[in-house]
Structure 1
Amino acid sequence: MPEQHSPALVPETFAQRARMARDRAGLPRPVAGGLVGRSAEWVKGIETGTIGMPRLPMLIRLATVYECDIADLTGDDRIAAATYTKTAHPALPAIKRALTTYRLAPGDTEPESAEALSARVRQAWTLWHGTGDHRSRVAALLPSLLADTQHSARVLEGTDRRRALIAQAATYHLAQLFLSFQPAPDLVMLTGDRSMTAAQDADSPRAMAGAAWYVNHVHRDANDAAEARVELAEQASALLRQDDEEDVARWGLLQLAVALSYAKVGRAGLAWRYWDRANDAAHRLGPDYAHPWLIFGQGIVDAYALTMHNDLMQPGKALEVALSLDVGRIPSATRRSYHLIETARAHGMKDEGVAAVALLQKAHRESPETARFNMHARMVLPELAKTGPRMVREDAHALALDLGVPV
């Protein structure tokens, strides 16, 4: 007789499905709770059934943190998390085409010089960090920049080819940032990998350090093991010199990457040990230093301390940092907006809806597309619009509509 297999057991209750999703994500209860603005006891409550299935906004948060669909939690396959949490930028199809189109024959087109490519990349970074709709502005440049850096890296030789590859790696960083919070996780992974490949082909320690910073973001957002992210950052750090300003900035950025990785998984001691190293690098560079496109400097180091406290479920300490934080020291509208949203996240964890909405409004004014494509902003506004304090519901509702979030 043929061997018979028992059918796979499908969790029957929301509590069972929530526990399975968290286990698959590899997140301890305290970390999972902190990422959705709740306690470890609350996570235990929904996994044991003492707390019932939460409303849709919280389901969206859980699905996002656990990297699953809402259907995996509710058992209803008609609902998908991406439907609610991610909105596609109109330029996404064009960027996708640019990333998946290959010029297999060099042809007769003269390659652009490495110097000209570098200037165009610098211009694109200026647009990314500037005010206004930074994603849309950069999206208009990316397709041709991707094609031209690819072509020059293939045709040029020697030092010029290495410089073209460095420009190509930085272009992939821009593409990766554009793709963040877009419904295209495969393309985010693709750009991260390509940036590191270009940096290695250029044999440039600085380019590899920059690629490691952005690859670290990819894997941290995907909840991959912290050890792998730390190892990559450590390897890239070892290639840099301590007597060169540019190298020190990239070294400090990698220490910050490790600190954020450890904070994401709740390992506070290691997280603050590496933050101290980043802080030391910022001090060595001086209070007014900021890298022209990586933006590393004292302002960023201070601001990420707020994010680390949030990830470590310490909203009170995060707000203490926020009180002394001068986001004006950060020469990037996109970064200023992000850290304002992080301050709103801390207030939200303390159920301070008035402050949270006010900060989200400020973040939207600072950089509209940063707020529009930020996952936290998109998740919390519908809940605040319906169940928040009476005095903020109207503001939350209006801002949600501005961001294109269904309420």
Structure 2
Amino acid sequence: MAEPTANFGASLRAHRERAGKTRAVLGGMVGRSADWVKAVETGRLLTPRLPMLLRLAEVLDITDLADLTGDQSLPVASVTRTGHPAVDEVAAALKRTILPVGEPPSAPVLRGLVDQAWRLWHQSSAERTAVAAVLPGLLDDARRSTRRLDGADRRAALVDLARVYHLAQLYCAHQPYPELVWLAADRAMGAAQDADDPAAIAAAAWYYGHVYRSANQLDAAEHVLTDAIGLIDSGTGPEQLARWGQLRLGIALGHSKAGRSGPAWRAWDAAADAAHRLGDGYAHPWLMFGRAAVDAYGVTVETDLCRPGEAVRRADTLDYRALPSRSRRAAHLIDAARAHLLAREDVAGVHLLGRALRESVETVRHNPYARSSVIELSGRPGTTGEDARELALAMGMDW
């Protein structure tokens, strides 16, 4: 990067205010204090180094670092995101408008194929590679079924088509093509609504909420989740209760990202109560809602609310093995690392990133926070820097 520009502080403040974030919220999201943000914005501190600039750009949804620094162009995704080798093939299948000819699978066969694909996602340590082998064909099969089947079979196929789009959204997350995530989320919601299935709409709202939060559209995320809650009767069985709890969890994540502690914990408490009613051993077979997941998201809430002490306390009491999904375990271990790094505990942060990598190489490799953290930690002296550089090699980072 070139010499710091005099206008960096004003630029950071403008982007922060445009994103609707307080100094405390922004500081917490990048592992710094509100006072640090104020010092940078007012020019009392110089422009941060590249790793911190990348982290600021990610949380402020800035695609080119030049928009923040006024310096030479550097697409943020070129450093913080790396494309999966099969992303173009999956993208082509997702955007295809004319389907290949062929007989569609029956509704029960399609359900089995979709269930199998979700098992691949949750059980593999390289979930994107595993799913990419079946996802293009599964997209074609599910869409053919919804066009060729009738009545109840067509509605069942539409529900499973929505689940395939959810899987496509997960695959496309943190890839260099964010428009694919929006496309998958929108098509999933359309399929769920065409099926007229409240449970499917609830799942689609959960995944749409992720997209809105990632784009800092927090009110839109809350609206889509709240609308879906109105369709769910949580008293009609475990499946409905799990979907209801998942939606409450999504609302908690939106409030915590906005720095609203009270509403965040009220929504989290409702989700925790639903998980408690379902029993300690319950986990939804593909949404993974359950007690372990809700507890793990409690770390996310505390971290987003810039309470590193409480976040670390929660993280250190979790049994990550209770999460029946390698990709979910890896994602929550990254959040635990985020909590420790916010508390200035670099050794614990590197250790947890290493644990996450052992659970799922691809979850860590494609996670922007993990990538930017490893870049920053690689510059630390001693064993912390050495371990971070080893992590970078294992993640395939060659910056």
Same fold (TM over 0.5): yes
> Residue 40 of structure 1 aligns with which residue?
34
Identity of aligned residues (%): 51
> Residue 102 of structure 1 aligns with which residue?
97
User: Which of residues 77, 84, 95 in structure 1 aligns to 2:72?
Assistant: 77
In the alignment, is residue 57 of structure 1 matched against residue 56 of structure 2? no
Task: Report SS of the residue matched to 2:390.
Answer: helix
Deviations 1:89-108 (A, max 9, x none): 0011001100111226x85x
In the alignment, is residue 404 of structure 1 matched against residue 396 of structure 2? yes
What is the CA-CA distance between 1:180 and the residue it aligns to? Answer: 0.8
Q: How many residues align?
A: 393
Taking the aligned partners of 1:332 and 1:358, their CA distance within structure 2 comes to 20
Task: Report SS of the residue matched to 1:181.
Answer: coil
> Residue 237 of structure 1 aligns with which residue?
229
Taking the aligned partners of 2:181 and 2:124, their CA distance within structure 1 comes to 24
Contact 2:162 2:187 in 1 (8 A): yes
RMSD value, Cα: 1.3
Taking the aligned partners of 2:398 and 2:310, their CA distance within structure 1 comes to 32
Task: Specify the code of the residue in structure 2 equivalent to 1:381.
Answer: V
What is the CA-CA distance between 1:237 and the residue it aligns to? Answer: 1.4
Contact 1:382 1:406 in 2 (8 A): no
Taking the aligned partners of 1:154 and 1:227, their CA distance within structure 2 comes to 35
In the alignment, is residue 169 of structure 1 matched against residue 153 of structure 2? no
What is the CA-CA distance between 1:389 and the residue it aligns to? Answer: 4.3
Deviations 1:173-193 (A, max 9, x none): 000000111111111011000
Taking the aligned partners of 1:389 and 1:169, their CA distance within structure 2 comes to 48
> Residue 140 of structure 2 aligns with which residue?
147
> Residue 190 of structure 1 aligns with which residue?
183
Deviations 1:246-269 (A, max 9, x none): 000000000000000000000000
Contact 1:248 1:281 in 2 (8 A): yes
> Residue 86 of structure 2 aligns with which residue?
91
Higher relative contact order (CA 8 A, sep 6+): 2
Contact 1:382 1:405 in 2 (8 A): no
Taking the aligned partners of 1:263 and 1:294, their CA distance within structure 2 comes to 21
Unaligned 5+ runs, structure 1: 1-10
Task: Specify the code of the residue in structure 2 equivalent to 1:166.
Answer: V
Contact 1:111 1:148 in 2 (8 A): yes
The answer to which of 229-238 and 373-382 deviates more is 229-238
Taking structure 1 as the reference length, the TM-score comes to 0.94
Task: Report SS of the residue matched to 1:288.
Answer: coil
User: Which of residues 279, 283, 290 in structure 1 aligns to 2:283?
Assistant: 290
Deviations 1:335-393 (A, max 9, x none): 1111111111111112111111111111101111111111111001111111x241211
Taking the aligned partners of 2:381 and 2:252, their CA distance within structure 1 comes to 35
User: Which of residues 170, 192, 200 in structure 2 aligns to 1:207?
Assistant: 200
The answer to which of 16-25 and 40-49 deviates more is 16-25
Taking the aligned partners of 2:96 and 2:72, their CA distance within structure 1 comes to 34
Taking the aligned partners of 1:80 and 1:50, their CA distance within structure 2 comes to 27
> Residue 5 of structure 1 aligns with which residue?
none
Runs of 4 or more consecutive aligned structure 1 residues displaced over 4 Å after TM superposition? none
**1:5-404 correspondence runs (5 A):** 13-68=7-62, 69-103=64-98, 107=101, 109-224=102-217, 226-241=218-233, 242-386=235-379, 388-404=380-396
What is the CA-CA distance between 1:63 and the residue it aligns to? Answer: 0.6
Taking the aligned partners of 2:296 and 2:175, their CA distance within structure 1 comes to 24
Contact 2:125 2:327 in 1 (8 A): no
Taking the aligned partners of 1:234 and 1:20, their CA distance within structure 2 comes to 30
Contact 1:353 1:389 in 2 (8 A): no
Task: Specify the code of the residue in structure 2 equivalent to 1:171.
Answer: V
Deviations 1:211-255 (A, max 9, x none): 00000001111111x222222112211211222110000000000
User: Considering only CA atoms, is the larger Rg found in Structure 1 or Structure 2?
Assistant: 1
> Residue 8 of structure 1 aligns with which residue?
none
Taking the aligned partners of 1:322 and 1:382, their CA distance within structure 2 comes to 23
Taking the aligned partners of 2:180 and 2:136, their CA distance within structure 1 comes to 14
Taking the aligned partners of 2:6 and 2:347, their CA distance within structure 1 comes to 38
Taking the aligned partners of 2:243 and 2:286, their CA distance within structure 1 comes to 11
Taking the aligned partners of 1:268 and 1:54, their CA distance within structure 2 comes to 29
What is the CA-CA distance between 1:12 and the residue it aligns to? Answer: 6.1
Contact 1:84 1:406 in 2 (8 A): no
Taking the aligned partners of 1:189 and 1:12, their CA distance within structure 2 comes to 36
Taking the aligned partners of 2:103 and 2:9, their CA distance within structure 1 comes to 62
Task: Specify the code of the residue in structure 2 equivalent to 1:23.
Answer: E
Task: Specify the code of the residue in structure 2 equivalent to 1:125.
Answer: W
Taking structure 2 as the reference length, the TM-score comes to 0.96
Taking the aligned partners of 1:392 and 1:77, their CA distance within structure 2 comes to 31
Task: Report SS of the residue matched to 2:134.
Answer: helix
Unaligned 5+ runs, structure 2: none
